Amino acid sequence: MTAKVITRYPPSPTGFVHIGSVRTALFNHLFAAHNGGEMVLRFEDTDKERSKREYEDDILAGLAWLGLPYSMPAVARQSERTAVYQKHIPKLIEVGAAYEAEAGKDNPDKKVVRFKNPNVKITFQDAVRGEVTFDTTELGDFVIARNIDEPLYHLAVVIDDHEMGVTHVIRGEDHISNTPRQILMLEALGFERPQYAHIPLILAPDKTKLSKRHGAVSVNEYKAQGFIPEAVLNYLALLGWNPGGEQELFTLDELAKLFTLDRVHKAGAVFGLEKLKWFNHEHLKKLSDAEYAARLKAFSDKGIDPRLIPLLKERAQTLVEAVLMLETEFDFFGDPSYEPALLLQKGKILPEVASNHLKALTDLLEHVPHEGFLAAQLKDIIWPYATAQGRGEVLWPLRVALSGKEKSPDPFAIMGLLGKEETRKRIAQALQNL
Ligand code: GLU
């Protein structure tokens, strides 16, 4: 019987939870879910100065928003796991794998714990990078604990991974050089070696390390910008992994079904905001109208006319963009008063030309029954006329007459929404204005 797969997500709460960290959590979740296992979360807060509770909260909020499941040990902060570490450090000394030594000239009374380096080459099989070998000689007898109770970071990681039953360590490539020293320690402790997988880093479009100026802000910032979790998860999954084939849009469950480590890439993955927006738009389009409206509510407390949802879905890449459209271009149900010059595209169209077209359109629309007053049908009726007469000179005055705005959805969509009576009224008003 093989052991249950346990992966881990051990963030250091020293900053807001950025995209790269979330991608690591996602890969750990996908691998665990694919294999019927689970992901454990712990906080690696050994850096006391920089670790903050607000960052822990940010990480948890990010995972909750994304809907990534995890379990947590009863004591999840390394800073509170002293009792666990106390069980193991003396053992290392007992078996002769470590020894206490003076901390240094400035601290003659303090004793640190040093690892007795056997000076060997360590080789491990990395699920992404293949066979990896490091010579550990240059590490010397490295310090592993501040004192007999307090491990330094690498020893805490090794003990925690063992205590939490971790079978697979999936983490960023920047940790690969830590692996040999962690293997030295876990072997001295008699622990089983987990399977390692070092995943490629996420890069900015200019191939440099992704940083704040590239948008590597907290994932919760993306939430505030109107991205939806389905899209963020989908896009992040494809940063450094690919299931093969043409399909790009996946749900979290579909990703978990497909995820294997042998398809993780070795090369760094470039993060592009435009691509993320594309994924967001595609996932927004997949929501039902009711669900779309519900998500919009988090961004706008104004009531939303349900007839606008299909238009928003078509045009807005983010929910924030949708709200902005509702407040500007899409705000055409009320009184459409405007500067009459706008009807003429600020002088580009002659008044007689605009008047003639609006009159002709009035006649065309007269024959359309109320039930047929729908965007697609209206377009079929008007398009040939506009094409023959010049689209700009026909459609611009019509659109302004209907919306009163310089920017708005196309006139067919607006007419469909306003209905025949209101459409007729607004065109008549425009003719008067001219
Ligand atoms: N705490 C480390 C980090 O946030 C993770 C270390 C590991 O995965 O072993 O980068």
Ligand 1 within 6 A of CB of 126: no
Q: In what order do the strands lie in the sheet with 195-199?
A: 130-135, 121-126, 195-199, 168-172
pLDDT value of residue 215: 65
Q: What is the pTM of this model?
A: 0.91
Neighbours of 244 (CB within 10 A): 7
The pick from 59, 168, 171 for probing ligand 1's pocket by mutation, whose C-beta has the most ligand atoms within 8 angstroms, reads: 171
The pick from 157, 177, 181 for probing ligand 1's pocket by mutation, whose C-beta has the most ligand atoms within 8 angstroms, reads: 157
Q: CA angle 386-392-395, nearest 5°? A: 60
All structural domains of the chain? 81-199 (3.40.50.620), 340-433 (1.10.10.350)
Ligand 1 within 6 A of CB of 44: yes
| Per-residue pLDDT of the chain in tens (434 residues, 90 and over written 9) | 578 999 999 999 999 999 999 999 999 999 999 999 999 999 999 999 999 999 999 999 999 999 999 999 999 999 999 999 999 999 999 999 999 998 877 777 889 999 999 999 999 999 999 999 999 999 999 999 999 999 999 999 999 999 999 999 999 999 999 999 999 999 999 999 999 999 999 998 888 888 777 765 789 999 999 999 999 999 999 999 999 999 999 999 999 999 999 999 999 999 999 999 999 999 999 999 999 999 999 999 888 889 999 999 999 999 999 999 999 999 888 888 999 999 999 899 999 999 999 999 999 999 999 999 999 999 999 999 999 999 999 999 999 999 999 999 999 999 999 999 999 999 999 999 99
CA–CA gap between residue 413 and residue 39 (Å, rounded): 48
Q: Which helix (H) or strand (E) holds 251?
A: none
Go through 98-130 and write b for each residue having 16 or more CB atoms within 10 A of its CB, e for each that does not: beeeeeeeeeeeebbbbbbbeeeebebebbbbe
Residue 124's closest CA among 136, 108, 114, 115? Answer: 136
Residue 86's closest CA among 139, 163, 26? Answer: 163
DSSP notation for 241-305: B--SSS-----HHHHHHH--GGGB-SS-EE--HHHHHHHHHHHHHHS-HHHHHHHHHTT--S---
Ligand 1 within 6 A of CB of 214: no
Query: At which residue do the structure tokens 């310089």 appear?
Result: 406
Query: At which residue do the structure tokens 């008044």 appear?
Result: 351
The pick from 26, 175, 198 for probing ligand 1's pocket by mutation, whose C-beta has the most ligand atoms within 8 angstroms, reads: 175
CB 423 within 8 A of CB 365: yes
CA–CA gap between residue 55 and residue 46 (Å, rounded): 14
Ligand 1 within 6 A of CB of 229: no
CB 120 within 8 A of CB 187: no
Please count the CA atoms within 13 angstroms of the CA of 338 that sit on its side-chain side: 27
Ligand 1 within 6 A of CB of 12: yes
The one-letter code for the residue type at 260 is: T
Could you confirm whether 277 is annotated as catalytic? Answer: no
CB 6 within 8 A of CB 73: no
CA–CA gap between residue 197 and residue 142 (Å, rounded): 25
pLDDT value of residue 216: 57
Neighbours of 71 (CB within 10 A): 12
Q: Between the CA atoms of 215, 217, 221 and 226, what dihedral angle is there, to the nearest 10 degrees? A: 20
CA–CA gap between residue 347 and residue 257 (Å, rounded): 60
Instruction: State the angle between helix axes of 53-66 and 229-237 in degrees (0 to 180), rounded to the nearest 10.
Output: 90
Q: What share of the chain is helix, strand, coil (3-state, %, to 5)?
A: 50, 15, 35
Q: CA angle 213-214-218, nearest 5°? A: 85
Supply φ then ψ for residue 140, to 5 degrees: 65, -160
From residue 35, alpha-carbon distances to 6, 39, 270, 428, 430 in Å are 9, 11, 28, 67, 65
CA–CA gap between residue 346 and residue 264 (Å, rounded): 56
CB 414 within 8 A of CB 403: yes
Catalytic residue among 52, 91, 212, 285: 212
Residue 414's closest CA among 430, 398, 425, 431? Answer: 398
Please count the CA atoms within 13 angstroms of the CA of 151 that sit on its side-chain side: 29
